A and B are shown apart, each in its own frame.
Chain A
Amino acid sequence: MNNLQPSALRLTGLYKGFGGPWVVDDVHLDVPPGSFFGLVGPNGAGKTTTLSMAVGLLRPDGGQAQIFGVDVWADPARAKAAVGVLPDGLAVPERLTGPELLTYSGLLRGLPADVVAERTAELLGVLELADAGHTLVIDYSAGMRKKIGLAMALLHAPKLLVLDEPFEAVDPISATTIRTILQRFVAAGGSVVLSSHVMALVENLCDRVAVITSGRVVAAGTLAEVRGPHTLEEAFVRLVGGRVGGAEGLSWLAS
């Protein structure tokens, strides 16, 4: 990494404990600018906790998070201006319609009204949410929620996107739309960090991968480095040390 071009996202020795054992235990990650970075791990591995600390939604017990060289916790305003976030499982003001939510979001960021209006219309069109213009977000399906969340993350044209499980509960057509948007974003020089536990998707989409389990990064690097001669899924199972269960017991089931 050269000094002129700092990492899009750099996590150094992050710790988080919630008063018990470390949920995130000395996590180091380096996301070069222009990369499509996949963070994979089993349920409860600490993916959401790590990403929350990276964008300033959860205070780390130790360590640093930098976005384009700016410390998220020391200079939050500058760091947060460069990043768009799609959290997983957090609420939005649900009694707003999609256009109202995006308008609110854009104006809160200080964007001019005409820019907000233009981008809102365009984003809703591209994400196929334009028909739901009068529907309150609370009535949205899970997939629509992901899409409006993505629109909120994209609205201020950030240089880095941090997306927590962006493909969870999204139908195949919407997923393809989101993939295309993200690929265009990276092709245009943006950086994406996404978490997922769908290996095939990460393998298809990302050029860099980190595997996290029990709060620790057990492998990180380019896709080829991490998966080696195997598929990512095989490499993942080996790295996580998991035993694939499901073959024993349950003889009463559908007998």
Chain B
Amino acid sequence: MVGILIRMRLHLLRRTLSTGTTGVLFALGLVFGVVAALGTVALIVRVTGTGDLELGTTATAAVFGLWTLGWLFGPIVTGSSDETLQPEQFRLLPIDHRRLAAGLLAAGFAGAAPVVNLIAFGGLAVRGVLLGPVPALVGVLGALLQLAFVVLLSRVVLGWIGAAMRSRKGKDLAVLFAALAGLAYYPANLLIQHLGPMLMHQVPPTLATVLLVAPSGWAPYAVDAAARGDWLFAVLPLAGLAVLIFGMWRMWAFLLRRRRMTSPPGVASSGPRSDRMGGLLGRIVPPTPLGAVLVKELRMWWRDSRRRAALLPMVLVGLAMPIFPALQGNFTFMVPFAGLSLVWTCTLGSANLYGMDGTALWHTLVTPDAARADVRGRQLAWLVFVAPPALLAGLILPGVTGHPGLCPWVLAFLSTLLGAGAGLVVLLSVLAPFPVPQRQGNPFASNNNAGCAKGLMQLGLSVAQLVLLLPPLALLLIGEFAGLPVLRWLAIPVGIALGAVTAWRCGVFAQRRITRWGPELMAVVRPR
């Protein structure tokens, strides 16, 4: 069965790659991965060359730790958890779950990422060879075990999150976890910046201990022990890894079994709970076409786990973006602008509204003159969720961080960006829509396959919107240097006006686009 699954996976991979841009992206990723892997090997060879056994072991453990983190967070952050073969597809086959787990795992190794990683971990084998015959043997074994460990770890963690996403509470937790995983980029960055130079010279003892105690450090330590002739500690870490691998394999098999037996996420029934807010919304919002869309959109953001997975991490990432640099250096003046980066990331995160709704667009298309209400309602609903945290951050952070003078700056920019964001969200949703697979077992699987051109358009327009900040910026600068506080505060209404005009104009464009090209838009967002 393993052979069949591997063939099936490679077949599917070939099929995906035969479509132009995916192939190019894949090749680029592969080149990048191979370069990173070879860099790892080079680094390990270089520290081994210094002759300092301890430093070499710590450095190897550190880069192994980074690769492991990559396996953990990469799929979550990029939304590219490998779901070429989904356990659901085997639901009706009479295969017991442990065999299926073994088969799927084996098939999981038949991909580009594990091969690239094997090269990187191969650095340990090279290090072993440089240190002697026994360390060489330990190094080869360690590299293989390490690879099995990271692949399984990634599978188990993603599988666990996917399973947690099945219940509503679990979903909230998992979305939060994903957001935190997104934030892990910053600590990782910090780690690399501070660790990089240290690896070549001296690693602080506490950090060295942490690196070695983490499972990613076990294999390097085994090679270290073998080089020192400490047979017990050459074997123990490897045995430990093997036990860990076995345990995770069992866990994964269990998760697979659960996943095969239960229905996909998003099917969780909400019952009367969602009704409380629903009833209130119905009473507050006026019963007009615009109100109808607004209420519908608020409910969708609130109830649809995929929409929440798109927005909530962006709120946290946006808030944290200026905070981490402040922790690293003395850029504290950036912190008051956390609201701005929040709006910016949220705009990017919700730039595929029609894609997320899929073919539900038909209803707007068969309703006369519904495009206007639909676009405006979506803009309003987006603002209802994004504006409060952004404004709150903008009002509180300047004072809290001891820069109350930045208040007009923050508020002027914030009002511009909120308007521009509300405009861009619908503009990008009609200009660069892409289909989102419906109801997948793992909510992190391929929810961000915008493709190269559309991704560039999203990024390009979201950078271009920053041009709108120039007029308020000019007012603020003149006010600052000429000592005219009036000018500085004037930047706020100017910002609001700019934002409002942008939101309005983009909305008009989106409406026209839907009215004119609605059927084509629906064809693009139809899940394939």
B is bound to A: yes
B520 close to chain A: CB less than 8 A: yes
**Contact for B287 among A76, A93, A95, A116, CB less than 8 A:** A116
Q: How close is A215's CB to chain B, nearest CB, in angstroms?
A: 18
Q: Which residues on the A side are within 8 Å of B300 (C-beta)?
A: 93, 95-96
Q: Which residues on the A side are within 8 Å of B370 (C-beta)?
A: 108-109
Q: How close is B377's CB to chain A, nearest CB, in angstroms?
A: 9
Q: Tell me the bound Cα distance from A59 to B520 in angstroms.
A: 8
Contact flags A97-119 to B (C-beta < 8 A → 1, else 0): 10010011111111011001000
Q: 10 more A-B contacts (CB under 8 A) besides A90-B359, A104-B295, A109-B367?
A: A56-B366, A77-B369, A80-B366, A80-B367, A93-B357, A93-B360, A100-B278, A107-B291, A113-B287, A139-B267
Interface residues of B, dominant DSSP: helix
A232 close to chain B: CB less than 8 A: no
Report which A residues bind B (CB closer than 8 A): 52, 55-59, 76-78, 80-81, 83, 85, 87, 89-97, 100, 103-110, 112-113, 116, 134-136, 138-139, 152
Across the interface, do A108 and B362 meet the contact criterion of CB distance under 8 Å? no
Known contacts being A91-B357, A91-B359, A95-B300, is A139 close to B269, with CB within 8 Å? yes
Across the interface, do B366 and A134 meet the contact criterion of CB distance under 8 Å? no
When C-beta atoms are compared, the residue in chain B nearest to A75 turns out to be B368
Across the interface, do B293 and A108 meet the contact criterion of CB distance under 8 Å? yes
Known contacts being A59-B520, A80-B367, A138-B266, is A90 close to B362, with CB within 8 Å? yes
Q: List 17 A-B contacts (CB under 8 A).
A: A52-B519, A57-B362, A57-B522, A59-B520, A76-B368, A77-B369, A85-B362, A91-B438, A96-B296, A97-B278, A100-B296, A100-B299, A106-B292, A107-B288, A108-B292, A134-B271, A152-B363
Report which B residues bind A (CB closer than 8 A): 266-267, 269-272, 274-275, 278, 282, 287-289, 291-293, 295-296, 299-300, 303-304, 357-360, 362-370, 373-374, 438, 515, 518-520, 522-523
Q: Tell me the bound Cα distance from A91 to B304 in angstroms.
A: 14
Across the interface, do B291 and A59 meet the contact criterion of CB distance under 8 Å? no
Q: Tell me the bound Cα distance from A77 to B368 in angstroms.
A: 4
Q: How close is B244's CB to chain A, nearest CB, in angstroms?
A: 39
Known contacts being A57-B519, A80-B366, is A92 close to B360, with CB within 8 Å? yes
Across the interface, do A105 and B363 meet the contact criterion of CB distance under 8 Å? yes
Q: How close is B195's CB to chain A, nearest CB, in angstroms?
A: 45
Q: Tell me the bound Cα distance from A136 to B358 in angstroms.
A: 17
**Contact for B303 among A85, A89, A95, CB less than 8 A:** A95
Across the interface, do B275 and A103 meet the contact criterion of CB distance under 8 Å? no
Q: Tell me the bound Cα distance from A96 to B296 in angstroms.
A: 8
Across the interface, do B266 and A104 meet the contact criterion of CB distance under 8 Å? no
When C-beta atoms are compared, the residue in chain A nearest to B526 turns out to be A90
The listed residue with most A CB atoms (<10 A of its CB), out of B287, B295, B520, is B287
Across the interface, do B292 and A136 meet the contact criterion of CB distance under 8 Å? no
Q: How close is B272's CB to chain A, nearest CB, in angstroms?
A: 5
When C-beta atoms are compared, the residue in chain B nearest to A109 turns out to be B367
Q: Which residues on the B side are within 8 Å of A104 (C-beta)?
A: 292-293, 295-296
Q: Which residues on the A side are within 8 Å of B365 (C-beta)?
A: 56-57
The listed residue with most A CB atoms (<10 A of its CB), out of B296, B518, B522, is B296
Across the interface, do B366 and A112 meet the contact criterion of CB distance under 8 Å? no
When C-beta atoms are compared, the residue in chain B nearest to A117 turns out to be B287
Across the interface, do A136 and B269 meet the contact criterion of CB distance under 8 Å? yes
Q: Tell me the bound Cα distance from A113 to B199 in angstroms.
A: 69
Q: Tell me the bound Cα distance from A96 to B267 in angstroms.
A: 12
Q: Which residues on the B side are within 8 Å of A97 (C-beta)?
A: 274-275, 278
Q: Which residues on the A side are within 8 Å of B366 (C-beta)?
A: 55-57, 80, 83, 85
Q: How close is B304's CB to chain A, nearest CB, in angstroms?
A: 5
Query: What 5 A-B pairs have minimum CB-CB distances, sorted nearest first?
Result: A107-B292, A113-B287, A95-B303, A77-B368, A90-B359
The listed residue with most B CB atoms (<10 A of its CB), out of A105, A107, A138, is A107
When C-beta atoms are compared, the residue in chain B nearest to A149 turns out to be B363
Across the interface, do B287 and A107 meet the contact criterion of CB distance under 8 Å? yes
When C-beta atoms are compared, the residue in chain A nearest to B285 turns out to be A107
Across the interface, do B357 and A58 meet the contact criterion of CB distance under 8 Å? no
Q: How close is B433's CB to chain A, nearest CB, in angstroms?
A: 14
Q: Which residues on the B side are within 8 Å of A55 (C-beta)?
A: 366
Q: Which residues on the A side are within 8 Å of B282 (C-beta)?
A: 103
Q: How close is B464's CB to chain A, nearest CB, in angstroms?
A: 31
Q: Which residues on the B side are within 8 Å of A105 (C-beta)?
A: 292, 363, 367
Q: Which residues on the B side are within 8 Å of A80 (C-beta)?
A: 366-368
Q: Tell me the bound Cα distance from A97 to B279 in angstroms.
A: 12
**Contact for B519 among A56, A106, A109, A135, CB less than 8 A:** A56
Across the interface, do A95 and B272 meet the contact criterion of CB distance under 8 Å? no
Q: Tell me the bound Cα distance from A80 to B267 in angstroms.
A: 32
Across the interface, do A91 and B287 meet the contact criterion of CB distance under 8 Å? no
Across the interface, do B363 and A92 meet the contact criterion of CB distance under 8 Å? yes
